[in-house]
Amino acid sequence: MSVEGSFDDKDIFEKYILNRPWVKFYDEGTPENVEIPEIPLYQHLDDAYKIGPDHPALIFLGRKITYRELHEHSERFGRALHDKFNIKKGDKIALYLPNCPQFAIAYYGGIKIGGVITPMNPLYSAREIAHQIEDSGAKILVALDLFKDNVEKALKDVDIDAVVYTGIDDYMSSFKGWIYRTFMKKVKVEIDNRKFFSFKDLINSYPPDAPRPEINPKEDLVALMYTGGTTGVPKGAMLTHYNLVANVHQIDSLLFRGRKKVDIYVGILPWYHIYGQTTVLHSAIYSVATIIIFPKLDLKELLEAIQKYKANVFHGVPTLFSLLINYKDISKYDLRSIEACISGAAPLPKAVAEKFEEITGGRLREGYGLTETSPVTHVNPIYGRYKIGSIGLPIPNTLAAIADPEKPIFLPPGEVGELVISGPQVMKGYYNMPEENEQVFFEKYGYRWLRTGDMAKMDEEGYFYIVERKKDLIKYKGYSVYPREIEEVLYKHEAVAEAAVIGIPDPKVGEIVKAFVVLKEKYRGKVTEEDIRKYLEENLAKYKVPKIIEFRDSLPKSTVGKILRRVLREEELRKMGKSKP
């Protein structure tokens, strides 16, 4: 291995990184670089409103919402945030919502007045809600009324200026709204106009003229997205207006080769996650496209909507595409409108991709990204050479490299090291975590590099391959599960002496979460696995709760007493008849 600053290291940088060997494999018409305007993210909505005010922006449970309505309602909500709640530039606005029109309205209304959006997973427990409110310093929480119980529990541990409640029926079609209000269980929320407010009332009470402070796109934040990063400790990735604008333009130039046709997006990827937020919500608005919104997964409704509205852009995760191709009535639906699809968050099995393409006639390609990179950094060519098992090529304006995991030294093609990224989509840094920022960033040859935490390799043509996770991140159904967070919750249980959490490979869901628990002596034989599971269900989102809990008398440790997850993983793999990763 060469030493930092030597000829070999710089030669690798110039030949295999700066020279971008991957560009020659881009689809025809895809540029090496795209022009990225220094504008606020909301400028895309302003432009879409001017271009197609009466074009459908959103289709939600049968109701079409035009760009005029989306624009005006976001203006009204922005004015309400400013006048009613005194939200100023830089203040944090938390969204605790599924995919729905209110998410888009609150998001764009908030950023128009300089607010910073911090979305929450709808599956979060009260503990997780309270943590994000406290850590981000959010002043306002916009929440679905169905989540009222969790909100109330969270507010026992953390304070916030106001909660704005909205109902799923606020933007339904009149007929479906009537059915919902008539036959569904009603949730009564307290609207006192002191602490708790109605989203609908605010929209109806304020004019469509949100005040707009001056925005510096490269410096001012647009979103604070919580992630486990490379250490497993939840932290806020600070994304600027420029970060998200850049990634939208990068994706557009690569995925659609710059074409400007009317697109219909499948809006099933959750918007609380940056993957769905950027590739669907923001990208569709930039393209003046239409999004079919799905607040939850229902395969029958999803297939019916694709057929009815002739959706042609469909981004998802491998487990979703696998569920679709194995749906018993898939042959009854005409899905030939599908053109381009990106799969991310986990490896895409070859058999899944081939069957999906056979059914739809579209192109399904694997990509890669991180919350810290807004998120997309790599995609396989849609029409060109697609290498199975590869995450593809770095997208326009992006440099990617393989580096020594411990030192700022670049490695040649074929060698395994840590994937590092430099580009306009790379976050500003972690919120209030200078030590974490020191760990994940380094400067080299005039560029600022982000360490991704993933071990990878690059071939001679510039295609990248993920080899393994640098840390212990678990991928369950596309969700990121951080062992350390679950372990910290386990350690708070009075009966738990030691705990370790790992992921076990599973072809259907990616990895199954398994917890190993050592009980304190006095609780052995008294506390059951079901007791531990119920406790975890009260304190964690459902997808984080271990599917398997195993009690042990002790856990494997290093000479300094550190619990060795690696050894536990190897034991599980041996049981499955597999070699260690």
At 539-564, the pLDDT tens digits run 999 999 999 999 999 999 755 556 88
| Choice among 118-122, 161-165, 341-345 with the minimum mean pLDDT | 341-345
pLDDT at 187 over 80: no
290 within 8 A of 314, measured Cβ to Cβ: no
**Mean pLDDT, residues 330-337 taken together:** 96
Q: For a pLDDT cut of 90, what percent of the chain falls above it? A: 75
87 contact partners, CB below 8 Å, separation of at least 6:
81, 93, 110, 113, 115, 139, 140
CATH 3.30.300.30 residue window(s) in the chain: 474-575
**At CA 117, angle to CA 235 and CA 59, rounded to 5?**
125
pLDDT at 580: 46
pLDDT at 3: 42
CATH 2.30.38.10 residue window(s) in the chain: 7-34+397-469
Burial of 383 from C-beta contacts in 10 A (0-12 / 13-18 / 19+): middle
Q: How many residues in the chain?
A: 581
pLDDT at 1: 38
pLDDT at 326: 86
Give the tens place of pLDDT for each residue, 159-185.
999 999 999 989 987 656 555 655 566
**Mean pLDDT, residues 466-486 taken together:** 81
Distance CA 366, CA 171 (A): 34
Neighbours of 187 (CB within 10 A): 14
434 contact partners, CB below 8 Å, separation of at least 6:
none
pLDDT at 525: 94
* Fold classified for 41-214: Rossmann fold (3.40.50)
**Mean pLDDT, residues 345-356 taken together:** 85
pLDDT at 181: 58
Q: Report which of residues 228 and 570 the model is more confident about.
A: 570
Q: For a pLDDT cut of 70, what percent of the chain falls above it? A: 92
pLDDT at 484 over 90: no
pLDDT at 4: 45
Confidence of residue 361 (pLDDT cuts 50, 70, 90): very high
pLDDT at 566: 81
CATH 3.40.50.980 residue window(s) in the chain: 41-214
pTM of the model: 0.86
Architecture field, domain 474-575 = 2-Layer Sandwich (3.30)
pLDDT at 480: 79
Distance CA 377, CA 454 (A): 13
**At CA 577, angle to CA 575 and CA 581, rounded to 5?**
95
| Choice among 4-18, 208-222, 281-295, 540-554 with the minimum mean pLDDT | 4-18
Q: Report which of residues 450 and 325 the model is more confident about.
A: 450
Q: What is the 3-state secondary structure (H, E, C) of 210-272?
A: CCCCCCCCCCCEEEEEEECCCCCCCEEEEEEHHHHHHHHHHHHHHHCCCCCCCCEEEECCCCC
347 within 8 A of 389, measured Cβ to Cβ: yes
Three-state DSSP state, 454? strand
50 contact partners, CB below 8 Å, separation of at least 6:
none
Distance CA 433, CA 418 (A): 22
pLDDT at 256: 67
* Fold classified for 7-34+397-469: Luciferase; domain 3 (2.30.38)
pLDDT at 16: 93
